[in-house]
Amino acid sequence: MSTRHDIAAPPTEGGAAPGRPAPGTGPTEADRRRRARLSRRWQRDLRWSPYAFVSPFFVLFLAFGLFPLIYTGWASLHQVELTAPTDMTWVGLRNYTRIFDDDFFWNAAKNTLTIGIISTVPQLLMAMGIAHILNYKLRASTFYRVVMLAPYATSIAAASLVFVLLFGRDYGMINWALDQVGIGKVDWQNEKWASQIAVSSIVIWRWTGYNALIYLAAMQAIPQDLYESAALDGASRWQQFLHVTLPSLRPTILFTAVVSTIGASQVFGEPLLFDANKGASGGAEHQFQTLGLYLYEQGWVNQHLGRASAIAWTMFLILIVIGIVNYVISRRLRASS
Amino acid sequence: MRAFTRTARRAVVLAAVASLGAGLLAGCADDSGDSDSDGSSSGGGKGKTTVTLGLFGTFGFKEAGLYTEYEKLHPNIKIAENVVERNENYYPALLNHLTTNSGLQDVQAVEVGNIAEIVSTQAGKLTDLSKVSGVNKSNWLPWKWEQATAKDGQTVGLGTDIGPMAVCYRKDLFQQAGLPTDRNEVAKLWAGDWNKLVTAGETYKKKAPKGTTFWDSPGGLINAILSSEEKKFYDESGNVIYKTNPAVRSAFNLTAKAAQEGLVGAQTQFQPTWDQTIANTKFAAMACPPWMLGYIKGKSKPDAAGKWDVAVAPKSGNWGGSFLTVPKSAKHAKEAQELVAWLTAPAQQAKLFAVQGSFPSAPSTYTMSEVTSAKNDMTGDTPIGEIFGAAAKQIPVQVIGPKDQIIQQGLTDNGVILVTKGKSPEEAWKTATKTIDNNLDK
């Protein structure tokens, strides 16, 4: 820390520095007291105000993050109904053990995984392609970037409702187009894979631009001379992309993969609104019910708060496992590069 | 000088933080504490008491001018309503507010699908409305009154509207298919027996206009049949009997049969695609309470006016309707009770029907001119008030239970709809019961 001249004690007299003004004009007693007071205040300020500045986050986190987390854990060990949340019956780990043979839970887990893969992989590939194109010198490039980000700024509810209309079985635009090219109509809401692809497409539409912008930012940070020397060595555009761009983007790709994985494990709004009239059951045969949706169904539709809490904690544990796997893979990658 | 500006800036920052924090705290604070500050508090004019209503969907009190009228009769009362569009969003929040005793309005509406659960689990949080002056049990249909009455005799909700069911049908489609079009003739086709209705559907199918089905959806059919049964999912002592009740199984099988034969559209009610089948005239008949006529009108093209008619259903049942309750912790419970008693009195129910089409639960209104002379654009000259009034009186006193909605949704959305996708009725029943049992299991 550098010395604050307005508060620090004056330097001692003498030394090589020019002398101070005549003693008659030196600090009076009152002046010194004022300075001492100020100094104490500044010290207190320095010591405590950082805590004050970070405290809003921690207070909010305690109230809306940690407390619910712990309370959910407590509730998951009980049989609790929404109609009487204070009336808890201790059931131990039953809410967890029953998950092992709860077909609906594992069905939802599988759906979450498949929807996660169908939505994340194409999303990141497309984002990479779009970022690569936007990285060229383009006219009105800001315009394109804003357009890319527009879906991200749209509300999930509005987007999902529009997609439901597009994917309508009898009067939807997508089926109309499929019919025109002779493929025939697809029952987007009721067939397993069709419905999962449809839900994934909402996710892809919403997040591709966001990831593209992240890639674009990382691409622009790659030094131009790398490309120049590659070009001098006779590398084609494609080889440049493969051997210069991709390796430089590795940490960014990892980041987007982690964020998308977390996002995919929490997919909720899109499947909920994709068939709003079936409530949170995710289709007649639960064909696109994700874990988030199942949790919501148990808690708010069926009103079993204890079971819902146990599902929430199980999801949390699964996420931790995924996080560890991600960490291990990223370490391997870093070690190999 | 510098120190001063810094202090000043810090003061500003502190003030901002303090006010933000205070705002947050105030947002979380319990707001039911100031019940004794009646008269002068809570907005409105000088010395006025504001009574608030928590509603869902479209009750239409405001649209029918009932608030203004009440405020004129009681100059010291002001009425404000707080409306959530969909009951499935409104109801969990209401439960939350009731169990935590905070955030409640002075009057809270409850849908008929939730009333059994409210009566059996939340009666202690609600006031007894049977003793409010002006409330007379005989004003309501007996089953409507019973639905909101707890075992110990406490009546926690007063009925607003009901949904006596009839069959709405397209006269033009019936004619093309060679079925009678006169509403009395049509009613005779299936009088007293739902099986006969399916038989009429088979007749319809033989000469059905291209692209149309007899009935709108499997959900609409099973709902109509189940609503006309005295017992469906619960017995009198509150046990779940849906799996063993022969009435439920036969309703399921009959609907599944109709679905297998292609007599019902492969639709889920109230989905946008189902709405489009109304607009595009893709089915000939549906179970329809009075409020459905308003819904049909909203989804139809203008040229559909007058093409519908209403026939008596094989057996009468009820579909929809609501209650008004007053929580014990309401800020203005007494004023709220008086308002509820007035809003649900026969005279106001009749006015509401005239403006909003919500069918009264007070039988004395069925002879009032508002009801007897009622007409609907979709059904031309049909005396709908008389038809629905007669149906209302024949609705059985049904045993309802707290999880009726979950069970029925399972039978519909995870059950009979699957038959329209080519699953066998047996498979559909299995999927439905498995889903329902998992959903009921605490």
* CB neighbour list of residue B96: distance below 8 Å, 6 or more residues apart: A82, A85, B103
The size of chain A, in residues, is 337
pLDDT at B3 over 60: no
Q: By C-alpha distance, which of B326, B377, B324 is closest to B349?
A: B324
Interchain contact, B121 vs A83, CB within 8 Å: yes
Rounded-to-integer distance, Cα A117 and Cα A264, Å: 8
The reply to whether B293 and B190 lie within a common domain is yes
| ipTM passes above 0.90 | no
* Residue B434 is assigned to a structural domain of this protein: yes
* Residue B348 is assigned to a structural domain of this protein: yes
pLDDT of residue A18: 57
- DSSP state letter for B222: H
Average pLDDT over residues B103-116: 93
Interchain contact, A171 vs B273, CB within 8 Å: yes
- CATH number, domain at B126? 3.40.190.10
Rounded-to-integer distance, Cα A301 and Cα B405, Å: 10
Name the 3-class secondary structure at B388.
Answer: helix
pLDDT of residue A16: 58
Query: Using CB atoms, which residue from B99, B122, B406 is nearest to A302?
Result: B406
For an interface test with A, the pick among B5, B89, B273 (most A C-beta atoms closer than 10 Å) comes out as B273
Spatial contact of B66 and B116, defined as CB atoms under 8 Å apart = no
Rounded-to-integer distance, Cα B309 and Cα B186, Å: 10
pLDDT at B35 over 50: no
pLDDT at A336 over 80: no
pLDDT digits (tens, 9 = 90+) for B113-144: 999 999 999 999 999 999 898 888 999 999 99
Name the 3-class secondary structure at B215.
Answer: strand
Rounded-to-integer distance, Cα A209 and Cα A197, Å: 19
A71 to chain B nearest CA, in Å? Answer: 16
Give the domain-ending residue among B333, B351, B369. Answer: B369
A252 to chain B nearest CA, in Å? Answer: 36
β strands within B281-410, DSSP E? 283-288, 308-311, 318-325, 359-360
Residue numbers in B near A286 (CB within 8 A): 414, 435
The reply to whether B314 and B285 lie within a common domain is yes
pLDDT at A4 over 70: no
Q: By C-alpha distance, which of B337, B352, B336 is closest to B134?
A: B337
pLDDT of residue B42: 43
Residue numbers in B near A275 (CB within 8 A): 268, 271
Interchain contact, A304 vs B441, CB within 8 Å: yes
Q: Where are the domains of chain A?
A: 26-75, 97-336
* Residue B28 is assigned to a structural domain of this protein: no
Average pLDDT over residues B367-382: 87
The reply to whether B182 and B313 lie within a common domain is yes
The reply to whether B137 and B201 lie within a common domain is no
The reply to whether B302 and B315 lie within a common domain is yes
Higher-pLDDT residue of A106, B89: A106
The reply to whether B183 and B300 lie within a common domain is yes
Query: Using CB atoms, which residue from A52, A81, A164 is nearest to B442?
Result: A81
Higher-pLDDT residue of A204, A6: A204
Poorest-confidence range of A77-81, A276-280, A310-314, B18-22?
B18-22
User: What is the amino acid identity at position B208?
Assistant: A
Residue numbers in A near B268 (CB within 8 A): 275, 277-278
The reply to whether B195 and B213 lie within a common domain is yes
| pLDDT band at A254; cut points 50, 70, 90 | confident
Residue A141's alpha-carbon distances to A86, A133, A135, A137, B301, in angstroms, are 57, 10, 9, 8, 46
Q: What CATH number has the domain spanning A97-336?
A: 1.10.3720.10
Rounded-to-integer distance, Cα A133 and Cα A150, Å: 18
- The chain A residues in contact with chain B (CB within 8 A) are 6, 38, 52, 56, 79, 81-86, 102-104, 164-165, 168-171, 187, 190, 275-279, 281, 284-286, 297, 300-304, 306-307
The reply to whether B74 and B217 lie within a common domain is no
pLDDT of residue A327: 84
Interchain contact, B438 vs A286, CB within 8 Å: no
Residue B422's alpha-carbon distances to A94, A168, B222, B261, B364, in angstroms, are 37, 19, 18, 11, 48
B407 to chain A nearest CA, in Å? Answer: 10
Edge-to-edge strands, sheet with B49-56: B77-84, B49-56, B107-111, B318-325, B157-164, B359-360
pLDDT digits (tens, 9 = 90+) for B378-426: 888 889 999 999 999 899 888 889 999 899 999 999 999 999 988 999 9
* Residue B42 is assigned to a structural domain of this protein: no
The reply to whether B281 and B224 lie within a common domain is yes
pLDDT at A9 over 80: no
Rounded-to-integer distance, Cα A207 and Cα B42, Å: 45
B222 to chain A nearest CA, in Å? Answer: 16
pLDDT of residue B28: 47
Average pLDDT over residues A234-262: 89
Average pLDDT over residues A209-220: 93
pLDDT of residue B249: 95
Give percent of chain B with pLDDT exceeding 90: 63
* Residue B36 is assigned to a structural domain of this protein: no
Q: Is this prediction's pTM over 0.95?
A: no
Higher-pLDDT residue of B45, A327: A327
The reply to whether B170 and B84 lie within a common domain is no
Domain housing B423: 164-319+395-440
pLDDT of residue B233: 94
The reply to whether B286 and B415 lie within a common domain is yes
pLDDT at A125 over 90: yes
Provide the number of structural domains found in chain B: 2
**Residue A7: count of CB within 10 angstroms of its CB:** 14
Query: Using CB atoms, which residue from B272, B421, B438 is nearest to A164?
Result: B272
Q: By C-alpha distance, which of B391, B390, B325, B410 is closest to B109?
A: B325
Average pLDDT over residues A330-334: 79
Poorest-confidence range of A28-37, A81-90, A135-144, A275-284?
A275-284
Average pLDDT over residues B218-236: 93
| pLDDT band at A24; cut points 50, 70, 90 | low
The reply to whether B181 and B216 lie within a common domain is yes
Q: Which two tokens stand for residue A240?
A: 């440049």
pLDDT at B77 over 80: yes
Give percent of chain A with pLDDT exceeding 70: 91
pLDDT digits (tens, 9 = 90+) for B245-272: 999 999 999 999 999 999 999 988 888 8
* Residue B17 is assigned to a structural domain of this protein: no
Query: Average model confidence (pLDDT) for chain B?
Result: 87
pLDDT at A6 over 60: no
